């Protein structure tokens, strides 16, 4: 049986979704077993001429510039939403109302109220949902989860996380939709902080309370049409102290204006018997320290991912040859397909996404209240 796929948007994420839909069967068809074969039926972009060019390039049967037509098309079973943040809520709500499964990019929505509505609608309609928290599909990350859960570093006592990029570090970078509350919602917190929270949740479980501070480093930016400078309405950076429901402590630092950092998303996971360290800029490795063996020989070891870390072997039979960013999207896509087929609960779904939204909005609320502790 075939599953009709519609993708909205053909930018950075639109391309990763289109590639994932094209490749998921070839790469992961074996492990996916009984899932239906995705058929690339409709691609939506504006204007129509651009949609037609991109549909041809990505291998979609049809093109449209009308996203409402796409979500209501009876030939479409799953809708990929890869548009700017402000469109996630209306597009997801319409797709769910039409009974479609939804793969939506993060952050989930502009406001917590919108995210709550999306999760409630998906729950009520019984459709399968997935959010684009691709970094937690990395076999290196899932191995870190296995190590942590198996007691390899003892009791987990601290999560120290960071996410630094420099895509907004240049003060002369033109103003864009990312700086506008109405289109982007939160700034660095929504854009990249959400990824860090998805990792913290995956390793430590829910956040119980937090204290935060945040900052807009570049308060105005040149308008693209040269008519002056536009106000940056959301935050460039944030710092957070956390307490997890499991009793462990945590901290997070987040910046979209950190020169030299390209995708420095990572963490140190401290345990009573050792430590695990991960850095997305070296996404195919983990550092593991275990307090065992002769003291003179103790030290961090580097674990390179390979076929021993499923599903790496479905991409490449040789360890250390390295997966890439787009491969994470293929794994995410396969999880969604298995969810739709009822083989497992697709994760992270809109419920998991809502838990992430609660954390970033609590961070913003704490910072706005001058560092008040917020309980989740």
13 contacts ligand NAD (rule: CB under 6 A): yes
Minimal CA–CA distance to 288: which of 305, 296, 306, 300?
A: 300
Interface size with ligand NAD, residues (CB under 6 A) = 21
Q: Rounded to a whole number, what is the largest CA-CA distance in the chain?
A: 67
Which member of 4, 14, 193, 202 binds ligand NAD (CB under 6 A)?
14
Q: Which stretch binds ligand NAD (CB under 6 A): 77-85, 137-145, 358-366, 368-376?
A: 77-85
CB of 72 to ligand NAD, least distance (A): 14
Nearer to ligand NAD, 130 or 275 (CB): 130
In the complex, minimum distance from the CB of residue 12 to ligand NAD, in angstroms, rounded to a whole number: 4
CA–CA separation, 219 vs 235, rounded Å? Answer: 9
Per DSSP, the chain holds a count of helices (H) and strands (E) of 12, 17
What minimum distance in Å lies between the beta carbon of 79 and ligand NAD?
A: 12
Binding status of residue 84 toward ligand NAD by CB under 6 A = yes
How many CB atoms within 10 Å of residue 39?
17
- Tell me whether residue 187 or residue 311 sits nearer to ligand NAD (CB atom): 187
Binding ligand NAD (rule: CB under 6 A), the pick from 4, 10, 153, 305 is 10
Q: Please report whether residue 134 would count as binding ligand NAD according to CB under 6 A.
A: yes
For 282, the token pair is 């070296």
- Residue whose C-beta lies closest to ligand NAD: 11
Strands 78-81 and 101-104: parallel
Residue choice 18, 45, 119, 163 for contact with ligand NAD (CB under 6 A): 45
Q: Which is nearer to ligand NAD, 364 or 374 (CB)?
A: 364
Cis, bond preceding 154 (omega within 30 deg of 0): no
Q: How near is the Cβ of 74 to ligand NAD at its closest, in Å?
A: 20
Q: Looking at 272-313, which runs of residues are DSSP E strands? A: 274-279, 285-290, 301-304
Q: Residues, the chain, total?
A: 376
Q: Which residue has the tokens 């009876």?
A: 74
Residues 190-229 vs ligand NAD: string with x where CB under 6 A? Answer: -x--------------------------------------
Cα separations in angstroms, 226 against 80, 167, 171, 175, 222: 34, 20, 15, 10, 7
For the record, the structure tokens of 6 come out as 């519609």
- Give per-residue burial for 248-269: e unless 16+ CB within 10 Å, then b: bebebbbbbbbeebebbbbbbb
Subset of 259-318 contacting ligand NAD (CB under 6 A): none
Which listed residue (58, 67, 141, 267) binds ligand NAD by CB under 6 A?
67
Question: Which stretches of the chain bind ligand NAD, using CB under 6 A?
Answer: 8-14, 44-46, 67, 82-85, 87, 105-106, 132, 134, 191
């Amino acid at each position: 049986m075939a599953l009709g796929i519609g993708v909205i948007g053909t930018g950075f994420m639109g391309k990763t979704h289109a590639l994932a839909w094209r490749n998921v069967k070839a790469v992961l068809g074996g492990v996916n077993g009984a899932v239906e074969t995705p058929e690339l039926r409709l691609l939506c972009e504006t204007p129509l001429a651009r949609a037609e060019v991109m549909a041809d390039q990505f291998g979609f049967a049809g093109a449209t510039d009308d996203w409402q037509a796409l979500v209501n098309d009876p030939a479409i079973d799953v809708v990929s939403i890869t548009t700017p943040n402000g469109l996630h809520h209306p597009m997801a709500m319409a797709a769910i109302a039409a009974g479609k499964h939804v793969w939506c990019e993060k952050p989930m929505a502009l406001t917590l109220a919108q995210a709550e509505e999306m999760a409630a609608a998906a729950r009520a309609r019984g459709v399968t949902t997935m959010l684009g928290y691709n970094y937690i599909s990395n076999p290196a990350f899932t191995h870190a989860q296995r190590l942590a859960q198996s007691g390899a570093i003892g009791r987990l006592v601290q999560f120290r996380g960071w996410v630094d990029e420099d895509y907004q570090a240049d003060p002369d970078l033109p103003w864009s939709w990312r700086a506008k509350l109405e289109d982007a919602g939160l700034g660095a917190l929504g854009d990249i902080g959400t990824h860090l929270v998805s990792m913290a949740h995956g390793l430590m479980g829910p956040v119980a309370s937090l204290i935060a501070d945040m900052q807009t480093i570049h308060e105005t930016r040149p308008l693209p049409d040269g008519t002056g400078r536009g106000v940056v309405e959301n935050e460039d950076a944030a710092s957070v102290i956390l307490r997890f429901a499991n009793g462990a402590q945590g901290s997070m630092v987040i910046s979209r204006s950190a020169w030299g950092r390209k995708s420095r998303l990572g963490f140190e996971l401290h345990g009573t018997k050792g430590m695990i360290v991960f850095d997305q800029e070296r996404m195919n490795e983990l550092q593991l320290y275990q307090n065992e063996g002769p003291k003179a020989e103790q030290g961090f070891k580097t674990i390179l991912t390979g076929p021993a870390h499923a599903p790496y072997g479905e991409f490449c039979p040789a360890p250390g040859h390295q997966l890439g960013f787009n491969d994470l999207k293929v794994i995410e896509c396969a999880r969604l397909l298995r969810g739709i087929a009822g083989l497992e609960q697709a994760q992270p779904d809109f419920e998991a996404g809502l838990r992430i939204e609660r954390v970033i909005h609590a961070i913003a609320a704490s910072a706005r209240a001058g560092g008040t502790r917020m309980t989740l």
